[in-house]
Each structure stands twice: as structure tokens, then as C-alpha cells.
Amino acid sequence: MPLEILIKSTIAGVLASLACGLGVLPLWVKKLDYDRYAGLGYAVAGGLMFAASVYNLILPGLQLETHSLTWHEVAPVISGILLGALFMSMTDTYLSEERLEQKNWARFGTRGQILIFLAMAIHSIPEGVAVGVGYASETVYETHLGTYIAVAIGIHNIPEGLAVGIPLRSAGASLNRAFWMAVLTSVPQPVAAIPAGMASWFFQPLMPILMGFAAGAMIFLVLLEIIPAALKSETQPRIAWAFTIGFCLMILVQILI
């Protein structure tokens, strides 16, 4: 039922995007002093992103193949992680100060904002593939796997939206910009879900490397941009605590679903 998969995947993608935008809502509190707590905000966002990389991408990627972690099963995930890190490294090199001063790049924001958007958008691709494959399996096995995956990803997207919004807001982005950039990071989900649902036999074997790629991009971003930005205005112990709290918050999300 290709049409049914198309409709479900599109609806799930739109709802997931809006859920990501919901994560920015706490930032509408006017009493928050972003200049004062920018460093802590970056650290919390880093903890959220790092935990999402581990629990939402790396661990599921390893378990997709088999429960016995041999080199044959681990290699695709590790390869994906390294490729994701390489992609972010090359992107960081490409976004030089001279290039960002050009009008066609300046309109997209600062270097950090562009890197955050790219990493989170890449993170949405394997999620979309998982949704598409899940909906395809519903038509074969008469289960609700696609719906369950879509709901789980929607719940995950709320704190991930906060992880996008905090550094953007701390860097001076407006609330509207932070909201829409958080929403747009989930747009790749329905884009990936539709072909994955139509050809699940092709995309399912690619999931481990796709998950690894997204995780590698996010982890590299946390170490390259998020933590160094946090350390500019806060002490190392406070950053370590804020990062740990963000990490634990994402673990709590796993328990909720």
C-alpha cells in the first residue's frame, strides 16, 4: 500500500517537526538571562545531544544486526561514526570566516548556528528511514511498529529541539528563528521516510551506517563547537555538571517511552 505509507510518513514527519519546535517553548520565558547562563545552556545542550547520539543512534544501530557484537556487526556503525565526524570536520573547514562574510552565507547565521543545524538535520535522516521501514512492515506483518517509532521519535524530538534552541538563542538568534530552525531540522525525516517506506528492503540494511553517521556528526559537533563555546563563559566544574544534567535528562526521556 504505497499511498498509505506515503500519507502516514508525511503526517508523522510534520508532527515530528512540530514536536522539535515545542522544545524551544521554554526559551520564551522572558526572565531568562541568556548572556549570564549562555555557557551552562551550551553545556546542557551538549549533554542532550551526546545522550541522543548514544541512546537513539549508536546503541539501536548496534542492535539492528545481532545481539552478539562481533567486528562484522560493529564495523558499519563505527564506519558511519567516522564518516559523520569527517563530514562535520570538512564542513567546519569549508565555513571559513571569509566565506561566512559573503552575503549568500551570512543570511544563514553564524558558523556555530549552521553547524548545529546541519548536525541535527543529519540526525533526522535515520529517524525518517526507521519510520518508513516501520510503516512498510505494518502492511506485511499487521503490526503498529511504524506508529510506535513515529511517536517515540516525536517525544525524543522535544528535548532535541531544546538542544537546538539553547545554543542558537545564546548566540543571539531570535526566538522565532530558534523555533523555525528547530522545526526545520526535522524536515529530513519525512523526506527520508517516504522512499524508505517504498523500498524498505533497500534501506533497512543501511540503517547501522546511517545511525552511526548521524551520531558521529553530533558527537563531533559537541566536542568541536558546543563545549568550547560553553567554556568561554563558565568554569569547568559548572560545565561538567550542566553537561551531565543534560545527559541525564535525555536518559529520562528513554524511560518515558
With a CB cutoff of 8 Å and minimum separation 6, the contacts of 185 are 20, 117, 120, 121, 123, 124, 160, 161, 164
Percent of the chain surpassing pLDDT 70: 84
Helix or strand or coil: residue 69?
Answer: coil
Of 58-62, 162-166, 167-171, the poorest mean pLDDT is in 167-171
Read off the C-alpha cell for 178: 530558534
86-104 pLDDT per residue, tens: 999 998 888 777 776 676 6
Q: If you search the block for the grid coordinates 563530514, which residue do you land on?
A: 87
27-79 pLDDT per residue, tens: 777 666 666 677 888 888 889 889 988 888 888 888 754 556 677 778 999 99
Report pTM. Answer: 0.78
Cα–Cα distance for residue pair 90/217, rounded to 1 Å: 11
Environment class of 198 (CB within 10 Å of its CB; exposed 0-12, middle 13-18, buried 19+): middle
With a CB cutoff of 8 Å and minimum separation 6, the contacts of 135 are 4, 5, 8, 9, 12, 145, 146, 147, 193, 197
Cα–Cα distance for residue pair 23/156, rounded to 1 Å: 10
pLDDT of residue 222 exceeding 60, the answer is yes
Angle, CA 28 vertex, CA 24 and CA 221 arms, to 5°: 35
Mean pLDDT of the chain: 80
pLDDT of residue 244 exceeding 90, the answer is yes
Cα–Cα distance for residue pair 120/126, rounded to 1 Å: 11
Cα–Cα distance for residue pair 63/130, rounded to 1 Å: 14
Cα–Cα distance for residue pair 211/57, rounded to 1 Å: 5
Averaged over 120-147, what is the pLDDT?
Answer: 74
pLDDT of residue 140 exceeding 60, the answer is no
